[in-house]
Structure 1
Amino acid sequence: MDGHDELARRFEAHRGQLRAVAHRMLGSFEEAEDAVQEAWLRLSRTGGDGIDNLAGWLTTVVSRICLDLLRSRASRREDPYGQDPRVPAASDANAPEEAAVLGDSVSLALLVVLDRLAPAERIAFVLHDLFGVPFDRIAQVVDRSRPAAKKLASRARQKVRGTPAVPGADLDRHRQVVEAFLAAARGGDLDGLLEVLAPDVVRRADPAALPPGVAPELRGARAMAEGTVALRERSRFAVAALVDGDVGVVVAPHGRLVLALTVTVEGERITAYDVVADPARLGRLGLGVLDLPEVSARSRTR
């Protein structure tokens, strides 16, 4: 095995971790793969001599590539809210990996909220809070001082958490009801939907969320449940999240927000929900994740 083959072998040992970092930073499997490949090209040009910590070096390089991509995306205003990306097909090359990530409600909700962060905030948060990278290294990536890097991560963390507008006990109860609604929708369970919807439930929707000719307002549990069952495929990409201070739903194929539901819960049932699809309205919603991944206390201070 020559030197280049050995370097390639060492790189491949880190590819999975690098792809995970890049995907959380970019929210796109394709762009993440491109960023990782660019890191390999830079490593192959540089060579491994003099790199004591290859994992750290590669993470720094991938992070800088992602930061440049995020800044370029922000300047072009790519991926506006309200566009409905292609739903992954079973034959897609990334389908198994993508299904695993999109099946994790924390990851999907987090990707949606991360899209609202400034590029440097997103990089600092992902590196520190999701992967435990120390602030000294993060400061090098974002070209800031260590205190400034800590402030970026802290500010991002506050935005990701959102601001609940209801007491914790009510938030937990609302979450149970909303998640029961989503579970029934994903399973095409008409009886389960009828159990969680109030008899006189009201659904209001932006016209952009509906097929032509469908009324924006719908009343009654059965009519709403039957309509929800019909949207079973899309419900695969729907997860509970904090929406305007209470538990709601975000629908986000590929982590790109296309719909949000603001949900009213009374007792143990949903009495109303609004489907928001208008890009301007989506952009004004306050969003947050209901479960924020925690790193160790030691990592949080590094």
Structure 2
Amino acid sequence: MKQGVLYGIVAYLAWGMLPFYWKLFQSMGSLEILAHRIVWSLIFVLFIIVITKRWKPLWAAAPGAKLKGALFLCSMLISANWLLYIWAVTNDHVMEASLGYYMNPLISVLLGVLFLKEKLGIGQWVALGMAALGVIFITVEYGQVPWVALSLALTFAFYGLAKKLVNLEAMFGLAWETVFVTPLSLVYLFIIEMNGTGTAFALEWWKFVLLLLAGVGTAMPLYWFAQATKRLPLSTLGFIQYLSPTIQLLSAVFLFGEAFTTTHLISFSLIWGALLVFTISSMRKKTVSVQMKPDQAIKEQA
């Protein structure tokens, strides 16, 4: 349990600190940063797989066209999520990015209802309604939809849904997901270097070294997260996951100088309240299910 909590905290701390990392490459284009992240992630993961002699299990992990199709979908969704996040950080939208990751668990639940026929209690529906009010409020006040937050939440939620079809361990999943988009990334990097618009080699040497370590920064939090999920109940991990967007929000306000207005306060408060209501409702529902007799629990879940 203690190891699981430690792994979870380290993983979400690393994800929460990502804005500081991507801010270093603000002079680069978002697509160029993404391409480097994909390429170096694949190289690092394949290096780990080779030295641990797990090459054969990697290929055996994705038999059949259906599973490879699901992995391709995961690849497209996580690439879109990475691109949106990098763009948000390098264009001073860290606060809106944090809003997206606060919203993500609630949107994931909604997708579970729509696509997996999962059933929600009254409290959980109330939580979804509160989150929707938070989005509507900020949309009305500013006259535009918070598209960065919604796009991040939707792409990651659909990514999680697609991952249910795959069910691979973290390193294998990342390897397959980056395999599909690495050829495109290499072609893109080659083109921008040939036409003189590439900026990676113009970076200071220490920044260039850190860019090469993007693969390590991508793979290791996934590994720590996978270790946490093996050791912790989902309810505990659910609390820890809010560490990441909280760090991002505090960084946006106190370090990056992004404005936190009354509108933001009301919208965020509605979503924070929604997460609290949802968590309490889910825990109560789980407790009731455990206390019920087995045949009653089966009827309740049916």
- Which has the larger Rg? 1
Is the helix fraction higher in 1 or 2? 2
Name the TM-score, length of structure 2 as normaliser: 0.30
Name the TM-score, length of structure 1 as normaliser: 0.30
- Which fold has the larger relative contact order, with Cα–Cα distance below 8 Å and residues 6 or more apart in sequence? 2
Is the strand fraction higher in 1 or 2? 1
